[in-house]
């Protein structure tokens, strides 16, 4: 399937306290507010090529409103809409705003909402944020974690392979890797990664045993070096943000990672490194937890809090390491009887 998308451009999430959350992202993460309405705040990392990469939207519980992807062309947008609609998941068009052109919003088979668009304003920061360098949209931010770009989203879905297949066949995501094991002769896939470009993933999928569709597990910002990630860990600790998990290195993708929570309770990752992969007919390998799918050095164990996805639900997700003790039955039951919500 020909890829129709170029990249993840922004994510919209709920903020329980809009002003406090925006301040946290500005001061601690090192993003910059570029627009604001009564119910939303628009922020950007300094290296993001389009105007904003994070939209905070006033809400009652942590969760994702939508993830937005730019297509490869106007024709690709038309083709994507045609495919989504013929797959039975018709959405609606949004009028252009000040920063992006017309966009198409739909909710896919596992309850996640995507916004697709082609026309977009390429960002050029005004003084005093303008860069001296022509290719930079803005000069480097010097405080907080200061990620360069938004990196990826990892969602939770009741069927990892089903999600991967639908998004690959409908929108052209490349299937890069899966992690799983066999249970009584049946394959249980608990994690998978998809990409639109050379990165190992810009969309991750974790197995969800809950009945709540459309959940998100985390989203990630990209730092340029391992040194910056170590500095980020230091800054988080010094400023009172506990690190939930990491720093460590994923086997799949080979990124260095760490995870923490933002003010509404949603999980954020900062990561760096990883390989580049341009192989158009790449065949995804199937990893086992023992091979270090999640943990390259095979010596870390995840805290139980990493089972939580958003909005909160009573049943857990798998983790990138597989199943956490005490949740095996719920997850295996979900995997063996996985289905599309409503199907
Ligand atoms: Fe991640």
Going by C-beta distance under 8 Å and a sequence separation of 6 or more, which residues neighbour residue 38? none
Total of domains in the chain? 1
Distance 154 CA to ligand 1 centre (A): 6
Q: 18-32 pLDDT, tens per residue?
A: 999 999 999 999 999
Give the domain range for residue 324: 5-123+147-336
Could you tell me if residue 135 is inside a domain? no
Neighbours of ion ligand 1 (CB under 5 A): 154, 220, 269
Least confident of 90-99, 155-164, 277-286, 327-336: 327-336
Could you tell me if residue 136 is inside a domain? no
DSSP 27: I
pLDDT score recorded for residue 181: 84
Mean pLDDT, to the nearest integer, of 102-108? 98
CB 269 within 8 A of CB 147: no
Distance 267 CA to ligand 1 centre (A): 10
Going by C-beta distance under 8 Å and a sequence separation of 6 or more, which residues neighbour residue 22? 15, 33, 36, 41, 43, 56
Could you tell me if residue 162 is inside a domain? yes
Going by C-beta distance under 8 Å and a sequence separation of 6 or more, which residues neighbour residue 161? 178, 189, 192
Distance 219 CA to ligand 1 centre (A): 6
Could you tell me if residue 58 is inside a domain? yes
Distance 272 CA to ligand 1 centre (A): 11
Whether the predicted pLDDT of 317 surpasses 80: no
Report the DSSP beta bridge partners of residue 192: 178, 205
Whether the predicted pLDDT of 342 surpasses 60: no
pLDDT score recorded for residue 337: 67
Distance 291 CA to ligand 1 centre (A): 18
Distance 250 CA to ligand 1 centre (A): 9
Distance 5 CA to ligand 1 centre (A): 20
pLDDT score recorded for residue 50: 98
Q: Is the dihedral of CA 320, 170, 106, 38 positive or negative?
A: positive
Distance 218 CA to ligand 1 centre (A): 7
Distance 220 CA to ligand 1 centre (A): 6
Task: Answer with the residue of higher pLDDT: 264 or 3.
Answer: 264
Could you tell me if residue 130 is inside a domain? no
Distance 25 CA to ligand 1 centre (A): 18
Going by C-beta distance under 8 Å and a sequence separation of 6 or more, which residues neighbour residue 187? 180, 181
Could you tell me if residue 154 is inside a domain? yes
CB 173 within 8 A of CB 5: yes
Could you tell me if residue 342 is inside a domain? no
* CATH number for the domain harbouring residue 290: 3.10.180.10
Going by C-beta distance under 8 Å and a sequence separation of 6 or more, which residues neighbour residue 19? none
Report the DSSP beta bridge partners of residue 106: 114
Distance 292 CA to ligand 1 centre (A): 15
Q: 193-237 pLDDT, tens per residue?
A: 999 999 999 999 999 988 899 999 999 999 999 999 999 999 999
Distance 257 CA to ligand 1 centre (A): 8
Could you tell me if residue 138 is inside a domain? no
Entry pTM: 0.94
């Amino acid at each position: 399937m020909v890829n129709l998308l170029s990249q993840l451009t922004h994510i919209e999430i709920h903020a329980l306290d809009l002003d406090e959350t925006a301040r946290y992202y500005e001061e601690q993460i090192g993003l910059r507010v570029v627009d604001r309405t009564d119910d939303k705040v628009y922020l950007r990392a300094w290296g993001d090529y389009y105007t904003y990469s994070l939209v905070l939207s006033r809400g009652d519980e942590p969760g994702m409103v939508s993830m937005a992807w730019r297509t490869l062309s106007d024709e690709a947008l038309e083709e994507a809409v045609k495919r989504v609609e013929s797959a039975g998941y018709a959405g609606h068009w949004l009028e252009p705003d000040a920063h992006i052109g017309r966009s198409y919003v739909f909710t896919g088979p596992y309850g996640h909402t995507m916004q697709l668009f082609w026309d977009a304003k390429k960002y050029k920061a005004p003084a005093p944020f303008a860069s001296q360098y022509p290719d930079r949209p803005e000069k480097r931010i010097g405080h907080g974690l200061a990620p360069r770009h938004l990196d990826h989203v990892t969602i939770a879905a009741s069927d990892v392979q089903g999600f991967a297949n639908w998004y690959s066949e409908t929108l052209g995501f490349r299937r890069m890797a899966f992690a799983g094991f066999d249970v009584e002769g049946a394959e249980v896939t608990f994690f998978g990664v998809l990409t639109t470009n050379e990165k190992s993933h810009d969309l991750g999928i974790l197995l969800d045993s809950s009945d709540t569709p459309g959940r998100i597990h985390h989203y990630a910002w990209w730092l340029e070096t391992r040194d910056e990630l170590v500095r980020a860990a230091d800054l988080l600790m010094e400023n009172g943000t506990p690190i939930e998990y990491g720093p460590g290195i994923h086997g799949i993708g080979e990124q260095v990672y760490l995870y923490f929570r933002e003010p509404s309770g949603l999980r954020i990752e900062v990561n760096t490194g990883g390989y580049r992969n341009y192989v158009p007919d790449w065949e995804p390998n199937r990893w086992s937890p023992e091979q270090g799918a999640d943990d390259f050095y095979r010596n870390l164990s995840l805290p139980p809090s990493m089972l939580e996805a958003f909005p909160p639900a009573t049943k857990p997700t798998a983790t990138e390491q597989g199943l956490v003790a005490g949740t095996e039955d719920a997850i295996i039951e979900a995997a063996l009887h996985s289905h599309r919500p409503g199907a």
